[in-house]
Amino acid sequence: MVDLTGRKDAKNIKERYQHEINQAHGRVKSKVEWLYKMNHKLKWAMSETERLGKDIVANEEERKKLYESLSNLLKEETNFEEKMWKTTQKGKKVKAITINQKFKDSDIEEARYSDMMDYLRRYPKYASKSSFSTILNKITEIEKGIKKTKNEFHKAISDGTREISYFTRNLMEAKNNIRTYRRILKEGKEKLEDMRYRKGFFFKISSETSKLGVSLDTLNHKIDEKEDTIKQIEKEVNDAKKELAKLEK
Phi, psi of 65, deg, nearest 5:
-65, -40
Q: How many domains is the chain built from? A: 1
C-alpha to C-alpha distance for 9 and 191, rounded to whole angstroms: 11
> For all residues of the chain together, what is the average pLDDT?
83
Domain limits at 178? 7-60+152-248
C-alpha to C-alpha distance for 112 and 59, rounded to whole angstroms: 17
Q: DSSP H helical segments within 78-129, as ranges?
A: 80-99, 105-122, 124-127
- Cβ–Cβ < 8 Å for 197, 10: yes
Residue 46 has pLDDT above 50, yes or no: yes
- Cβ–Cβ < 8 Å for 218, 185: yes
How do residues 49-91 score in pLDDT, each as one tens digit? 999 999 999 999 999 999 888 888 888 777 655 555 455 554 4
Which range has the worst mean pLDDT, 7-21, 51-65, 208-222?
208-222
Per-residue pLDDT band at 100 (split at 50, 70, 90): very low
Within-domain flag for 68: no
Distance separating the N- and C-terminal Cα atoms of the chain: 77
With a CB cutoff of 8 Å and minimum separation 6, the contacts of 13 are 188, 191, 192, 195
Predicted local distance difference test score (pLDDT) of residue 180:
97
Which range has the worst mean pLDDT, 3-7, 41-45, 86-90, 235-239?
86-90
Predicted local distance difference test score (pLDDT) of residue 194:
81
C-alpha to C-alpha distance for 149 and 144, rounded to whole angstroms: 9
Within-domain flag for 217: yes
- Cβ–Cβ < 8 Å for 210, 13: no
Residue 192 has pLDDT above 90, yes or no: no
Q: Is residue 175 classed exposed, middle or buried when 0-12, 13-18 and 19+ CB atoms within 10 A define those classes?
A: middle
- Cβ–Cβ < 8 Å for 161, 46: no
With a CB cutoff of 8 Å and minimum separation 6, the contacts of 248 are 157, 161
Predicted local distance difference test score (pLDDT) of residue 102:
41
Q: Rounded mean pLDDT of 226-232?
A: 96
- With CA atoms as reference, report the closest residue to 161 among 48, 26, 7: 48
Per-residue pLDDT band at 4 (split at 50, 70, 90): low
DSSP string, 17-41: HHHHHHHHHHHHHHHHHHHHHHHHH
Within-domain flag for 244: yes
Within-domain flag for 108: no
Within-domain flag for 174: yes
Q: Rounded mean pLDDT of 119-125?
A: 78
